[in-house]
Amino acid sequence: MMKDLLTLAVKAVDGGLFVVAFALVGEVLEPKRFAGLFSAAPSVALANLIVVVVVAGHAEAVDNTWGMAVGAVAFALAAVLGVVAVRRFGALRGSVATCCTWLVLASAGLVVFLR
């Protein structure tokens, strides 16, 4: 239990730091569509996979990455809808709609490809 909590805490700090690092890279890039590549950077994935490999080994990290690949497809599809949603409804509602769309698509992907 303590080990799980400590692992989660390390993942949280690690994930936050990686996101900040990639966000800083995105800040200096132009134009915005190029900088947007870094909104889908594997920052959280890299941060978490490093911890998973150290704590649980390669096998669990491999399973994580297959799940991530399916999640990334859902991300790409959700972001296509997100372009329209952000334009019509503004950044906050548009991005929340994108996240909700991702949840639906990722759940479907989990059932179809990852069971």
Partner 1 sequence: MTAVEHPPKEPSQSGPRQPRRSWTRAHVEPAHHDPLADDASEPLIGIDAGKLRKVRAGDLGVRFAFGAAVSVVAGLVGMVAGPKAGGLFLAFPAILPATLTLIEKKEDNRHATNDTAGAVLGAVGLGVFGVVAAVALSRMPAAPALLLAAAAWLVVSVTCYLLVEPVLRRRARSSQTPTDRPS
Residue 81 · residue 101 · CB < 8 Å: yes
Of 6, 42, 104, 112, the one binding partner 1 by CB under 8 A? 42
Q: Is 66 in the site for partner 1 (CB under 8 A)?
A: yes
Instruction: Kindly tell me which of 2 and 32 has the beta carbon lying closer to partner 1.
Output: 32
Nearest in space to 45 (alpha carbons), one of 65, 28, 21: 65
Site mask, partner 1, residues 15-34, x = CB under 8 A? xxxxxx--xx-xxxxxxxxx
Nearest in space to 104 (alpha carbons), one of 68, 82, 78: 78
Q: Position of tokens 């150290």? A: 54
CA Rg value for the chain = 16
Site mask, partner 1, residues 67-86, x = CB under 8 A? xxxxxxxxxx-xxx-xx--x
User: Least CB distance from residue 2 to partner 1, whole Å?
Assistant: 14
